Amino acid sequence: MTFQQVFGYEPAVRYSAPGRVNLIGEHTDYNDGYVLPFAIDRRTTSDIAPREDRVIRVASSFDPEGGPVSLSLDELEPARMAGWSAYVFGIAWALREQAGADLSDRTGFDVFIDSDVPVGAGLSSSAAIECGVALAFTDLWELGLDRKTLARVGQYSENHAVGAPTGIMDQSASLLGEQDAVVFLDCRTLDTAVVDLALEANGLEILVVDTRVEHAHATGGYKARRDSCEKGAEVLGVPALRDVSVDDLPRAQELLDDETFRRVRHIVTEDQRVLDTVRTLREQGPRAIGSLLVASHESMRDDFEISVPELDLAVSTAVEHGAVGARMTGGGFGGAAIALVDREARDRIAAAVTTAFASAGYREPTVFTVHAAQGARRDA
């Protein structure tokens, strides 16, 4: 299905935005902490044409209903949005509500979404939609908003229009990513730095193992973890867990119940691992970060309890067969794991993971490589 097949004419312009892989720094974003994602070479495209009225019509290649969903700019409210189209309508609403854009004299668009970012794999297919649409609407409406503002718009939309309590990491990676580099993001100040990954020069690749165990951020597990983090910060008397150091953990253990303490310990140690990874990449290069990736996975498995057996098997099998390091990535409760592997070992490690899944009776995973890529852009 194409824009022309749905709307009966050719689009005026195409924008695209990438999914993301988080190298390290999981669930730290909504705790005002540090993250280290990169944009990937899997993208969502938005084919768009302006309309003469104030209606936005949205369709996509992955909508089983096929036909467009319509909403007027005069009716932009979360209660009127449902399903995947909320990721598009929500951006228009958030541009008005969060960024203060005046849409009173704007006309609408026809929008067609297509994507090769796997849905449900933890690679943020949702942020890819949001960021491509946000950049397109900003350009076409001539709003003059910078990319850091658009990241906040995307997060606001996902939190309040879609109803998923996510942080700002995914949108930042999708908008700010660069070739063969990671985005070091301070989620409190929104300061960013681009850090070279240098995988090509070191003969390394990132292997993604999509377990095909789907997750949904808007449902219970993610929210429960966020609630635990807020509870921990309140008891410890800090604005956010970003303000708790590793040296503070003994005191935290005295004050918190066991579950809340383990949630807090993951966030605090994960923040430190992000800082250690940035320093290690700069000083020693990517081959030296393997133990940090593994420690991150163990923390998510044992302290934050967001892994699943399929993710654990992917990580352990990759490491056993020679990966530099591996960890689950994304919000958890399914999705994908990543492994940092030598290029010549990629196929062997991928085959070992697939075989291990078959032996365990799990659904066959989808295994592929990704490369750090450019963020959201106008393509044509």
Nearest in space to 205 (alpha carbons), one of 374, 372, 19:
372
When pLDDT is averaged across residues 182-200 and rounded to a whole number, the result is 94
When pLDDT is averaged across residues 63-67 and rounded to a whole number, the result is 73
Structure tokens that stand for 327 in this block: 């960890």
Please give the pLDDT value at position 89. Answer: 97
Q: Read off the pLDDT of residues 295-331 as tens digits, 9 standing for 90 and up.
A: 999 999 999 999 999 999 999 999 999 999 999 998 8
* Cβ contact 135:378 at 8 Å: yes
Which residues, other chains included, contact 257 with Cβ-Cβ below 8 Å and sequence gap of 6+?
none
Q: Which of 32, 114, 170, 303 is catalytic?
A: 170
Structure tokens that stand for 102 in this block: 């005046």
When pLDDT is averaged across residues 249-262 and rounded to a whole number, the result is 98
Percent of the chain whose pLDDT exceeds 70: 97
Q: What is the mean pLDDT of the chain?
A: 94
* pLDDT value at 1 more than 50: yes
Please give the pLDDT value at position 121. Answer: 66
Assess whether 312 carries a catalytic annotation: no
Q: Is the dihedral of CA 63, 68, 72, 73 positive or negative?
A: positive
Of the pLDDT bands very low, low, confident and very high (cuts 50, 70, 90), residue 119 is: confident
* pLDDT value at 53 more than 90: yes
Percent of the chain whose pLDDT exceeds 90: 87
Who wins on pLDDT, 118 or 211?
Answer: 211
Q: Read off the pLDDT of residues 126-148 as tens digits, 9 standing for 90 and up.
A: 899 999 999 999 999 999 999 99
* pLDDT value at 231 more than 50: yes
Which residues, other chains included, contact 349 with Cβ-Cβ below 8 Å and sequence gap of 6+?
207, 317, 318, 321, 322, 323, 339, 341
Exposure b/e, 311-323, CB count within 10 A at least 16 = b: bbbbbbbbbebeb
* Cβ contact 263:332 at 8 Å: no
* pLDDT value at 262 more than 90: yes
Name the E strands within 29-159: 34-50, 55-60, 69-72, 109-115
Please give the pLDDT value at position 218. Answer: 44
* Cβ contact 13:254 at 8 Å: no
Which residues, other chains included, contact 159 with Cβ-Cβ below 8 Å and sequence gap of 6+?
165, 166
Work out whether strand 55-60 and strand 109-115 pair parallel, antiparallel, or are unpaired.
parallel
Structure tokens that stand for 160 in this block: 């309040």
* Cβ contact 338:330 at 8 Å: no
What's the DSSP call for residue 46? E
